Amino acid sequence: MAANTNSDVPKLTFEKAIEELESIVKRLEEGKVPLEESVAIYERGEALKRRCEELLRQAEARVEKITLDAGGKPTGTSPLDVA
């Protein structure tokens, strides 16, 4: 796996990224991957982990922006300030 194979990571959905990350962890835990490939897939795993964390932060920010009425029922959202 070449270093530039991580260019697709920013486009992955959370579900696809976490699925691939779980697959990488499983392969590494089995210990049957050659050293050079282990390093490459570990690097991809790190990129996938960062993508998942980014998507979770975005989802959390969106949830925090949901506005509630006096009865506690969702009434809409307020604008999301993406930092």
- 26-53 tens-digit pLDDT: 999 999 999 999 999 999 999 999 999 9
Cα torsion at 62, 64, 68, 73 (round to 10°)? Answer: 70
pLDDT(2) > 60: no
pLDDT(4) > 70: no
Q: Residue 11: what residue type? A: K
Q: Cα(22)–Cα(41) distance, rounded to whole angstroms?
A: 12
| pTM of the model as a whole | 0.74
pLDDT(7) > 80: yes
pLDDT(82) > 60: no
Please check whether residue 38 is in contact with residue 1, taking contact to mean a CB–CB distance below 8 angstroms: no
Q: Cα(2)–Cα(18) distance, rounded to whole angstroms?
A: 20
pLDDT of residue 17: 97
pLDDT(58) > 90: yes
Q: In the chain, what percentage of residues exceed pLDDT 90?
A: 65
